[in-house]
Structure 1
């Protein structure tokens, strides 16, 4: 780790901006989504249409994700270059990691749909059944894992040890986000199950 940090130039503002953007995204969206669940702020902005509100949030999340990736790439170009793998592994491993990461991200988005991917649960748009096909039969959180793999793939492709440091940071940020996001989502579905159970008892 110490040898890795020797190639990380913390004096570059671009690196600090990239780290801030990485932490901002999951933090902001969790705060916005929880507020939406409790207060329906975005839904009210769209005249009570929860689906349109969710699509609006999806657009914001996607746009800020692209900005985050651009900031990361810009930061890497301003960091010291140092080969971490011998040729041709430097490109083969990097390409394989990025391709696999994108596969996990895209297939999980396809399996969940727009509302399932972009926090539709918080808008009251709940899925009928848990998605159990690929990639969820391989990974519990394929989107976060896939994104982390992409960060590492890009770092190896550009041969920037700073990118490996950022990837570790990304992984930690995602772990923290999941500690908040997972239990809250489980609570939403538990509340629905309890409500449906109470409703069925009344009908009997």
Structure 2
């Protein structure tokens, strides 16, 4: 088999910019959310936690469009590998990923999909039905499957590398988010017991 360097051009500016976009999206929203939780600066600025959360939601969605565009541009500028050009497999993987993403959104709703916990917007209890009954954090892993599916659709080793970077970013993000979410719902449980 040919060397990886033949199929992944690491010095391609499109690849580097896509990697930067993949890293920056969760980093930016994490910084915004943590600072909002500590200071309520967005809630104070917009005079409503719901408006502030919606502004963040639109920001996250726009960053997602930019990230996805950078990913596609990178894949189009990279060589392909016929052995992994598996469009049917790619569509299947992306279909499963989309199912996880959309069903997560359906269960969580607008505000809780877009980090409502940091704004003081909470569900009554943690969700444990599908897709959360199948895996933890189905929104993140569904998104990852979408990127993986596209890599197979295009036969792109670079897409697989960028997908691995997405996994690393989400793993780091979850190390920050999961304890926070668990803490919020345990505090809510204690507060409800006192009432």
Q: TM-score, normalised by structure 1?
A: 0.90
Residue 57 of structure 1 corresponds to which residue in structure 2? 56
The two structures, once aligned, show a CA RMSD in angstroms of 1.5
**Is 2:75 the counterpart of 1:76?**
yes
CA distance 1:192–1:129, change in 2 (3 Å): closer
Larger Rg: 1
Indicate if the aligned counterparts of 1:116 and 1:127 stay in contact, CA closer than 8 A.
yes
Query: Are residues 21 and 129 of structure 1, via their aligned partners in 2, closer, same or farther at CA, if it must alter by over 3 Å?
Result: same
Distance in 2 (alpha carbons) for counterparts of 1:189 and 1:37: 15
Residues paired across the two proteins, number: 194
The residue that corresponds to 1:122 in the other structure is 118
Residue 66 of structure 2 corresponds to residue 67 of structure 1: yes
Q: Which residue of 2 aligns with 1:10?
A: 10
Equivalent residue runs for 1:112-191 within 5 Å: 112-191=108-187
CA distance in 2, matches of 1:13, 1:104: 32
State the 1:196 CA deviation. Answer: 3.8
Secondary structure at 1:84's aligned position in 2? helix
Partner of 2:23: 23
- Contact map agreement 2:150 2:159 (CA 8 A) in 1: yes
Bigger shift: 29-38 or 180-189? 180-189
Q: Is the 1:5–1:165 contact (alpha carbons within 8 Å) kept by the matching residues of 2? A: no
TM-score by length of 2: 0.94
C-alpha deviation, 1:5, in angstroms:
4.9
Deviations 1:46-83 (A, max 9, x none): 12x10111111101001101110000000101111111
Structure 2 gaps of 5+ residues are: none
Residue 4 (structure 1) shift: 4.0
Q: Provide Cα deviations, 1:156-202, integer angstroms capped at 9, x if missing partner.
A: 1111111111111111111111001111122222333334445x3xx
